[in-house]
Amino acid sequence: MKQSIQVSILGQQFNLRSDASPEQVHRVARFVEDQIAQVTSSGRAVDSLQATILALLNVSAAHLKEESVVGRSVTEDPRLILLVGKIEAALD
């Protein structure tokens, strides 16, 4: 059953609906924040939207590399689907 869970990313509050446990959703949010922080600390991004997109590209590249090693399709990985959903919600 989906539940509403509030997370903070880049200082903004988001109410996310998920079947995952609150701990898992918060773990995903922290992961997203960490990825964005890595991009911003490198000086590669000018603003938060650009940092978010660069972080998403980094995560996607890492996932696709892992996918090619493991042989799974992106559409078959529920973890990636959850993560992409969280990132999309954060961008809205």
User: For the chain, what percent of residues have pLDDT higher than 90?
Assistant: 42
Alpha-carbon distance of 36 to 41, in angstroms, equals 9
Indicate if the pLDDT at residue 67 is higher than 80: no
Model pLDDT for residues 37-65, shown as the tens digit of each residue: 999 998 877 788 889 999 999 998 888 88
* DSSP state at residue 42: T
Query: Residue 29 is part of which domain span?
Result: 3-91
For residue 82, what pLDDT is reported?
A: 80
* Structural domain count of the chain: 1
pTM given for the model? 0.69
Q: Which residue matches tokens 């996607």?
A: 60
Structure tokens at 41: 């600390």
Phi and psi torsions of 47, nearest 5°: -135, 175
For residue 33, what pLDDT is reported?
A: 94
Alpha-helix residue ranges (DSSP H) falling in 1-92 = 22-41, 48-70, 78-91
Alpha-carbon distance of 58 to 69, in angstroms, equals 17
